[in-house]
Amino acid sequence: MRSNGFTLIEILIVVVILGILAAIVIPQFTDATRDAKDSSVRAQLRIVREQIELYRIKAGEDPDLEGEQWDDLVTNNYLHRAPVNPINGSTEVHDHPQAGVGWVWTDSGFNNVKQLYATDETSLALFEE
């Protein structure tokens, strides 16, 4: 008399098939997460750069992002709050990339105009338009 269960071979075949499917599907999700963060950074940079340009037009100078950490743009209603870099979760601004810094506000080398870039914790990640 035969029982109604699965054999060990049948179970192993199903586990192998599920492992193959997982190996195919999981990397696609990790790429999607990174793509979503990159897209969010690009959108935030576009908005912040537009507000910096508006500040430059109205105030006739660059905002003081490093010393006040977004205060010029937030208190003057150019931004609702300090933007958070989705790559590393930081709102900090410095003039060069370093660990924990979310944004880099530095001279572009062209007419001493400052530019804003996003960073991860190890390198400068440029997101130019």
For residues 122 and 42, which has the higher predicted lDDT (pLDDT)? 42
> Does residue 76 sit within a domain?
yes
Is residue 5 a part of any domain in this protein? no
pLDDT in tens, 8-56: 999 999 999 999 998 888 877 777 777 888 888 888 888 998 999 999 8
Per the structure, the complete domain to which residue 53 belongs is given by 11-125
Could you give the number of structural domains in the chain? 1
3-state secondary structure the chain: CCCCCCCHHHHHHHHHHHHHHHHHHHHHHHHHHHHHHHHHHHHHHHHHHHHHHHHHHHHCCCCCHHHHCCHHHHHCCCCCCCCCCCCCCCCCEECCCCCCCCEEEEECCCCCCEEEEEECCCCEECCCC
Residue-wise pLDDT for 75-100, tens only, equals 999 999 999 888 888 888 888 877 77
Model pTM score = 0.67
On whether residue 38 sits in a domain, the answer given is yes
pLDDT tier, 67 (very low <50, low <70, confident <90, very high otherwise):
low
